[in-house]
Amino acid sequence: MNTDRFPAFVAAMTALVARTGDEPTLLREGRALLTALVRHDDWLPDRAAVARDDRYAQHLLHRDPQGRFSVVSFVWGPGHRTPVHDHTVWGLVGVMRGAERCEECSVADGAPRLSGHAHVMQPGDVEAVSPTVGDWHRVSSARDDGLSISIHVYGADIGQLRRHRLDDRGAVIDFVSGYDSLPAC
């Protein structure tokens, strides 16, 4: 297991958010850092690769002490799927293991709806979300067997953030995701 790779990523992200708050710069340079991180599947602690039976799992990997960003491991089993949701802050999603399906949304008159378009992300693929580049989507495992794992970086402590999702009737409701596990220290 490579124990240097993730601390180096956190150090580079910390330097980036210390240098700029400009979202296009954060997304461009953060994308390059995350792409380099998820290209190697040799660093994730076992604790952060644990799945849940009932739904996808979210393991906190790092929380910036100043709350400027967080890094989360998402672990997906076959059939696991998020609701249609937003983030309210910039975010980067990089697939490291397996594959994920991302269903795109359109927002008309403040009402988000699935657009009918979807794409599959493979290991090494990274994409961005934010209120300015497109913030609503639905994500699911694209594998019929085995686990998929993606590494997410957000411009806030995402598990504590009040954001929005669609309920079963398509109404927008608030939610706070929390985390399934935290770093040991």
Report yes or no: 58 and 177 within 8 Å, Cβ to Cβ.
yes
Q: Is 59 annotated among the ligand-binding residues?
A: no
Q: Is 80 annotated among the ligand-binding residues?
A: no
Amino acid at 141: S
**Pick from 121, 88, 120, 117: which is nearest to 105 by CA?**
117
Number of other CB atoms surrounding residue 28 within 10 Å: 11
Rounded Cα gap, residues 138 and 119, in angstroms? 11
Q: Is 85 annotated among the ligand-binding residues?
A: yes
Cβ-Cβ contacts under 8 Å for 42 (sequence gap 6 or more): 1, 2, 5
Q: Is the dihedral of CA 27, 76, 141, 149 positive or negative?
A: positive
Rounded Cα gap, residues 153 and 34, in angstroms? 8
Known binding residues are 85, 87, 137
Binding residues for Fe cation: 85, 87, 137
